[in-house]
Chain A
Amino acid sequence: DTGVSQNPRHKITKRGQNVTFRCDPISEHNRLYWYRQTLGQGPEFLTYFQNEAQLEKSRLLSDRFSAERPKGSFSTLEIQRTEQGDSAMYLCASSLVRADYGDTQYFGPGTRLTVL
Chain B
Amino acid sequence: RKEVEQDPGPFNVPEGATVAFNCTYSNSASQSFFWYRQDCRKEPKLLMSVYSSGNEDGRFTAQLNRASQYISLLIRDSKLSDSATYLCVVNEGGYNKLIFGAGTRLAVHP
Contacts and interface: CB of A to CB of B under 8 A. Distances in A.
Interface of A: 31, 33, 35, 40-45, 48, 50, 55-56, 91, 93, 95, 97, 103-110, 112
Contacts of B42: 109
Interface residues of B, number: 20
Contact of B98 (A43, A108, A110): A43
Q: Per DSSP, are chain B's interface residues mostly helix, strand or loop, or mixed? A: loop
Contact of B102 (A35, A40, A104): A40
A108 B96 CA distance: 17
Nearest to B103: A42
Given A31-B96, A56-B95, A95-B96, A42 B43 contact: no
B44 A107 contact: yes
B44 A43 contact: yes
